[in-house]
Structure 1
């Protein structure tokens, strides 16, 4: 994993295998607009609580109580209506900011992986990535822009790109 690679590179520890005995990884569920799906799923008895991405572990006590309250017909103490599963995609940032974040994350991966490229190529690569990323988000949808993580994924995975296109097209039909 990236973390173990970074630790090894940083520490240069001769006894690495004794120092790190276990690695744990898990899924980080994310909805296609980057925001959680919390609430009634539109069918009797169907409730959803997913898509919390990085925040699920530390928010789970609060969200579990809120979900239980709603299932029992109680109002709950936190307004989670924005995250209803039956919604138009949410977008927190402008398209321009999402493109900038995507390019920044992409360049960051190079530094994290200790890339070895000629002097000054970093700026050339970043300069070329921006218009390519702008075309990529336009190719996903002319109006909606997914979060940077999903823009990045869609550039690497044709199935993810197809899924995002279909999601936004279907959303446009419904909303």
Structure 2
């Protein structure tokens, strides 16, 4: 199973709080461990129907969201898409561990990768991953540990000169 969801979760007494989400390969099923409004921990199995071995995941993702919206409201689309891709890879004959390694590369951001060279669909996926990572690390005013107007000092010895703006010729 994967780690807790990437979104910050409000502790509303009537809300379902996702704790962990993962997959079962046979039959293709999403598993969600969640905290129910009464405080009890429950497990929900959500069968994935109509998942093609190849092709886009927009339709299966929309269908599973529609059927289980109450439980998946706080789970980001990119997390569900990654799990569906994992099920796709396994249905093509890959071993689970091998498929997970391949998807780790596909669903991570390489800081050295030139995103300008990506196709529109790949760029949109990378943007979803970045948005999910941002919202996961974002500290809001209601969060414990929030500090207003936080200022950090950086080691000035490690600052590298940027060659493009080091010349004063433009200002003379």
Task: Give the alignment's TM-score, normalised by structure 1.
Answer: 0.28
Higher normalized helix content (fraction of residues): 1
Between 1 and 2, higher relative CO (CA 8 Å, sep ≥ 6) is seen in 1
Task: Give the alignment's TM-score, normalised by structure 2.
Answer: 0.28
Higher normalized strand content (fraction of residues): 2
